[in-house]
Amino acid sequence: MQLPKEHTVLRIVPAASDVNAAGDIFGGWLMSQADIAGSIVAARHTKGRVVTVAVNDFHFISPVFIGDVVSIYGEVEKIGTTSIVIAITVYSERKLQKNIEAIYVAIGHFTYVHLDKSGKPLAI
Ligand SMILES: CC(C)(COP(=O)(O)OP(=O)(O)OC[C@H]1O[C@@H](n2cnc3c(N)ncnc32)[C@H](O)[C@@H]1OP(=O)(O)O)[C@@H](O)C(=O)NCCC(=O)NCCS
């Protein structure tokens, strides 16, 4: 599998501190990276301050391992009055034998609220 053609919002490599005792990457680490990526897309769109109000859903499809390069993509799915839903897809690139393969690892939806300077919801 190849990575999607559109621009990655975030590309990161998990560190040793992101794994549990069995050597697997914590799901919470991946969710927090996805939240950061979603907030970048939401802030770009609203051109202002945003805050996460909900993780609508998040599905872990394949595990991420140490040594993977994680690429996160995000796009605007829905715009409300003050809220915006960002669809997130996550891929991991991994060396398998001689080739680097992209693996589809997670999908989710995050809702952000556009805020004014005092922290109150502001129309987008
Ligand atoms: C975000 C926050 C300002 C919204 O305040 P609020 O009083 O709930 O505001 P509203 O009821 O007017 O809702 C604002 C928008 O968020 C949406 N919303 C609120 N709760 C939601 C939820 N659980 N899921 C999806 N959307 C939600 C509303 O539908 C509304 O969208 P719309 O304007 O497009 O119709 C407030 O809940 C807050 O500060 N939460 C903490 C956020 C935070 O700290 N996040 C980081 C956690 S570490």
Q: Which one of 31, 35, 49, 53 would you pick to mutate in the ligand 1 pocket, going by the greatest count of ligand atoms within 8 A of its CB?
A: 53
Q: How many domains does the chain have?
A: 1
CA separation, residue 12 to residues 68, 84, 97, 117 (Å)? 9, 24, 22, 31
Domain assignment of residue 90, yes or no = yes
**Cα within 13 Å of Cα(44), Cβ side:** 11
Domain assignment of residue 88, yes or no = yes
Dist. CA 113–CA 98, nearest whole Å: 44
Please classify residue 25 by burial: count the beta carbons closer than 10 Å to its beta carbon, then call 0-12 exposed, 13-18 middle and 19+ buried: buried
Q: Domain range spanning residue 88?
A: 10-115
Average pLDDT over residues 3-24: 86
Average pLDDT over residues 42-68: 96
Q: What is the pTM for the complete model shown? A: 0.94
**What's the CATH code of the domain at 66?**
3.10.129.10
Domain assignment of residue 58, yes or no = yes
Average pLDDT over residues 101-111: 96
Whether residue 86 has pLDDT greater than 80: yes
Tokens 């693996």 appear where? 103
State both tokens at 102: 């992209």
Domain assignment of residue 122, yes or no = no
51 pocket-lining for ligand 1 (C-beta < 6 Å): yes
Q: How far is the CA of 111 from the centre of ligand 1 (A)?
A: 8
The protein residue with its alpha carbon nearest to ligand 1, atom 20, reads 53
Residue-level length of the chain: 124
